[in-house]
Amino acid sequence: MLDEAVRPAALRPGDTVMLVSPSGPTRPERVARGVELLTGWGLHVRVGAHAYARSGFFAGEDALRVADLNAALADPRVRGVICTRGGYGAQRVVDAIDMAAVRRDPKVVVGFSDITAVQLALWRGARLATIHGPGAAWVDERTPEQSAQSLRAALMGTEPVVVKRDPAEETARVSVPGTARGPLLGGNLSLLTSSVGTPDMPDLAGAILLVEEVDEPPYKVDRMLTHLRRAGVLRGLAGVAVGQFTNCADGWPVTVADVLADRLGDLGVPVLGGLPIGHGHGQVTVPVGTPATLDVAAGVLTVEPAVR
Binding site for a second copy (CB under 8 A): 56-57, 87-88, 91-92, 95, 190, 193-198, 200-201, 218-220, 222-224, 226-227, 230-233, 252-254, 258
Q: Point out the catalytic residue in the list 212, 213, 216, 304.
A: 212
Q: How far is the CB of 142 from a second copy (least distance, A)?
A: 21
* Nearer residue to a second copy within complex by CB, 69 or 224: 224
221: Cβ contacts below 8 Å, ≥ 6 apart: 189, 213, 245, 248, 256, 259, 260, 263
Q: How far is the CB of 266 from a second copy (least distance, A)?
A: 12
The answer to whether 281 is a known catalytic residue is no
Strands (E), 112-188: 130-132, 161-164, 175-176, 179-188
Pairwise CA distance, residues 28 & 57, whole Å: 17
Q: How far is the CB of 219 from a second copy (least distance, A)?
A: 4
* Nearer residue to a second copy within complex by CB, 214 or 254: 254
* Nearer residue to a second copy within complex by CB, 150 or 195: 195
The answer to whether 113 is a known catalytic residue is yes
Q: Point out the catalytic residue in the list 21, 113, 147, 150.
A: 113
Q: How far is the CB of 86 from a second copy (least distance, A)?
A: 11
Q: Determine contact, residues 260/235, Cβ cutoff 8 Å.
A: no
The answer to whether 50 is a known catalytic residue is no
Q: Nearest 5°: phi and psi at 256? A: -65, -30
* Nearer residue to a second copy within complex by CB, 57 or 139: 57
For residue 109, give Cα distances in angstroms to 19, 37, 197, 255: 10, 17, 24, 33
User: Exposed, middle or buried, 57 (CB in 10 Å: 0-12/13-18/19+)?
Assistant: exposed
Pairwise CA distance, residues 239 & 146, whole Å: 26
Q: How far is the CB of 222 from a second copy (least distance, A)?
A: 7
* Nearer residue to a second copy within complex by CB, 218 or 274: 218
Q: Determine contact, residues 132/108, Cβ cutoff 8 Å.
A: no
Q: Mind telling me the catalytic residues?
A: 113, 212, 279
